[in-house]
Structure 1
Amino acid sequence: MKRKTLSMRKSAMPIDMSVWQGRCDPEDGELGMRWHQKVLPADQANEEGIMLLGFACDEGVARNKGRIGAFDAPAAIRRALANFAWHHQEPVYDGGDICCGDGNLELAQYRLGEDVSRALRQRHKVIVFGGGHEVAWGTFQGIGNYLLQKQHVSENKAGKPDEQAAPRVGIINFDAHFDLRNPPPGPSSGQGSSGTPFHQAARFCQLQNWPFKYACLGLSRTGNTKALYEKADRLGVLYKDDTELTRHDLEHTQTELNAFINECDHLYLTIDLDVFPASVAPGVSAPAARGISLEIVETLIEPILTAKNAQGDSKLLVADLAEYNPRFDIDNQTARLAARLAWTIARAIR
């Protein structure tokens, strides 16, 4: 059932729709449509659909001593997606970008969380284009606040504290890195980076007495210290190294991932493009010498995109794409990869 929604965009800069340009095939009528002809600005959101949000930010990568350039990623992904053929049923809206150009990462993440939460309240599914992987802490704040608000509404209606179990939010991260780092000590203590978002999510869950459910797939053991593996073990993280994600071992991974999905009430999918080989995704902050194939990733995200709850609704609330760096891309191939992933996710969840 489609429901009326309100215009959701309140906190960011005006929405720039000029990036949505591409080929037109008027001779084919409605069947010849492409994304640039169908995406609408968020202030025209009159029914449930998919909300696209951008997080233009380099600050988290800079704090994590990576190579910057991800600030320009959201616009570049939109440009790559604009000319893709339209094979969707539900409307897609562009909610514009949260921009972090002043170094205030924490405020930018808070603002992104506000927009994610607002879009979820309006019954949209959400896809976020980063930015460095610090985008994940902003996204997770939005999911957490949305679920807390739902819990509060339920309590008010019942007139007593909600006795339901804490929500089980499954974070599924395709990434060469855990991104579970502790914030640095000293003057920077408490500041996050592109390496800390899931430490921050774990802390959020701890404060709310929620279970922390995290799966990280595609890890490069050369890029993660023993301390991070030990921390992941303490937190009960499901993880797989890139060497384990091969066709030969895929069935076992699928079984474990399906069990993880079944234990969750809601899902958050986040894809760091550095999980792919540098030959496939050169335009990232930290190119992978090995990585995992697109075919493997597509196979593993399929049950994430099709998972349903008891009411028959998609478990997946939000997906985001992180670490695309146009400055180091070759022939826009990483942008097209990110756009293809967004296209696949959008088609499945609506």
Structure 2
Amino acid sequence: MMNRALWTGRQDIDGAGDTRRLHQVVSPFDETSRGGAALIGFACDEGVRRNYGRVGAAHGPDAIRRMLAALPAHGIEHVFDAGNLTCDDEQLEQAQQRLAGKVQQVLAQHAFPLTLGGGHEVAYGTFLGIIQHLGQALHSGHLLIINFDAHFDLRESELASSGTPFKQMADWCHQAGIEFHYLCYGISRLGNTPALFARAEDLGVQFKLDSDLVFTDIVDLGRELLDQLAAATYVYLTIDLDVLPAEKAPGVSAPAAYGVPLEKIEYLTQLAKNSGKLIAADIAECNPNYDRDNLTAKVAARLAHTLLQSRNMSLNISKISR
């Protein structure tokens, strides 16, 4: 259920034109909602706890909503809020299944699901919702999974955690006889063991290191991503905020000593959105317990705003020619 107390802010009056802010265009998501975008909160710390990280991300969805509320709408006509799904009983797997059901419902009602985490265990729940919605279409299509993250999150464990979601996706694809297409931007060499790099190679994961992204021209990065997007039928984008430098995102489970500049993450996010193939997205690991001046929540809200915009909204960056 939507918490209206989170959606407050100033109301401007200006004869020059549109003064709406997001708190003025949001409404509760229910069975009658159609089209637009729907925010889903995944208020869960269990995956981070199991992965020995800093807990507190369960408060992330509401912190991001508070920062979103005051942002100018800028072409966003309407947003639904589906409230929070919680995991207070350590039953992570059941919480992921509930998230999958909510993502599937939003897609069935022709809306775009944007899930706010929570730890990065949110990714497996979103993925399950996508595959439940697509069904047999997956066998004739190409689902591209794009992850902005300092970590592969390909750990193998008896228990699911924030470190296992993409290994779980790979296992699901293998069992279903579907190719696993995983593209990861921002991998930290010092944040992943040689064993994880070896597993990524075995699974055919395509990735770029954080150090490579910093020194690669943004337009070249865009061209490379456009090639990936062109080959895809459907795209699922997941953003772990620890891909950013710690000075931009201090409030995460594992702050990055290096990280990828925000402008590059935002630009690639915009390209994925503008492809017309983005079926769902999530933003993970916002941890208000360790945030500074709500900076991480503000960055998350900015990226969420990019994903909520209509396709004709664009960044002020040179046009890419393919």
Scaled by the length of structure 1, the TM-score of the pair is 0.85
Q: Deviations over 1:209-267 (max 9, x none)?
A: 11100001001100101111111111111100000002445455434322222221100
CA distance in 1, matches of 2:53, 2:37: 31
1:310 is matched with none
Partner of 1:173: 147
Hey, what's the Cα distance between the residues in 2 that align with 1:301 and 1:41?
Answer: 26
> Paired residue for 1:132, among 92, 106, 119?
119
Q: How far has the Cα of 1:91 moved from its partner?
A: 1.9
Cα contact 1:125–1:349 (8 A) shared by 2: no
Match of 1:331 in 2: 293
Q: Which runs of 5+ in 1 are unaligned?
A: 1-13, 152-163, 184-188, 308-313
Checking the alignment, whether the CA contact within 8 Å between 2:33 and 2:109 is kept in structure 1 is no
Partners of 2:98 and 2:75 lie apart in 1 by: 29
How many angstroms apart in 2 are the aligned matches of 1:330 and 1:89?
A: 28
- 1:115 deviates by 0.3
In the TM superposition, residue 305 of structure 1 has moved relative to its aligned partner by 1.2
Contact 2:146 2:237 in 1 (8 A): yes
Asked if 1:315 is matched to 2:277, the reply is yes
Whether contact under 8 Å (2:236, 2:279) holds in the other structure is yes
Which ranges in structure 2 are unaligned for 5 or more consecutive residues? 313-322
Q: Is the 8 A contact 1:175 1:216 kept in 2?
A: yes
Shifted more, 193-202 versus 206-215: the winner is 206-215
Letter aligned with residue 144 of structure 2 = G
CA contact (8 A) 2:9 2:69 kept: yes
Structure 2 residue aligned with 1:121: 108
**For 1:296 and 1:337, how far apart are their aligned partners in 2?**
13
| Distance across 2 between alignment mates of 1:85 and 1:65 | 38
How many matched pairs?
Answer: 312
What's the CA shift for 1:89? 4.5
Give the letter aligned to residue 179 of structure 1.
D
Which structure is larger by alpha-carbon Rg, 1 or 2? Answer: 1
- What SS does structure 2 have at the residue aligned with 1:132? coil
1:1-350 alignment runs, 5 A limit: 14-28=1-15, 31-43=18-30, 45-148=32-135, 151=137, 165-183=139-157, 189=158, 191-307=159-275, 314-349=276-311
Give the whole-Å Cα distance in 1 for the aligned partners of 2:283 and 2:76: 22
Instruction: State the Cα deviation string for residues 61-94 of structure 1 (Å, max 9, x = none).
Output: 0000001000100000000000000112442100
Cα shift readout 1:37-70 (whole Å, capped 9, x = no counterpart): 1100013854311011000000000000001000
C-alpha displacement of 1:208: 1.5
In the alignment, residue 54 of structure 1 is paired with which amino acid? Answer: G
Task: Name the SS for the 1:47 alignment partner.
Answer: coil
In structure 1, what is the Cα distance between the partners aligned to 2:4 and 2:196?
Answer: 41
Instruction: Give the aligned partner of residue 317 of structure 2.
Output: none
Q: Which amino acid letter does the alignment assign opposite residue 280 of structure 1?
A: K
The percentage of aligned residue pairs carrying the same residue is 47
Is the CA contact 1:215–1:237 (under 8 Å) kept in the aligned structure 2? Answer: yes
- Measure how far apart 1:166 and its partner are: 3.1
- Judged with a 3 Å threshold, the aligned counterparts in structure 2 of structure 1 residues 250 and 233 are, in CA distance, closer, same or farther, namely farther
Cα deviation code 1:145-193 (max 9, x no counterpart) = 1011x64xxxxxxxxxxxx94321111000000001111xxxxx2x200
Q: Which letter maps to 2:80?
A: Y
Q: Separation in 1 of the partners of 2:285 and 2:141?
A: 28
Output the CA distance in 2 between the equivalents of 1:138 and 1:166: 22
Kept in 2, the 8 Å contact 1:172–1:215? The answer is: yes
State the TM-score, normalizing by the size of structure 2. Answer: 0.92
Q: Per the alignment, do residues 73 and 212 of structure 1 end up closer, same or farther by CA in structure 2, a change over 3 Å counting?
A: same
The answer (yes or no) to whether the contact 1:48–1:90 under 8 Å persists in 2 is: no
Flag the 1:238–1:21 CA change in 2: closer, same or farther, 3 A.
same
Query: Which amino acid is the alignment partner of residue 43 of structure 2?
Result: A
Residues of 2 paired with 1:260 and 1:107: CA distance? 33
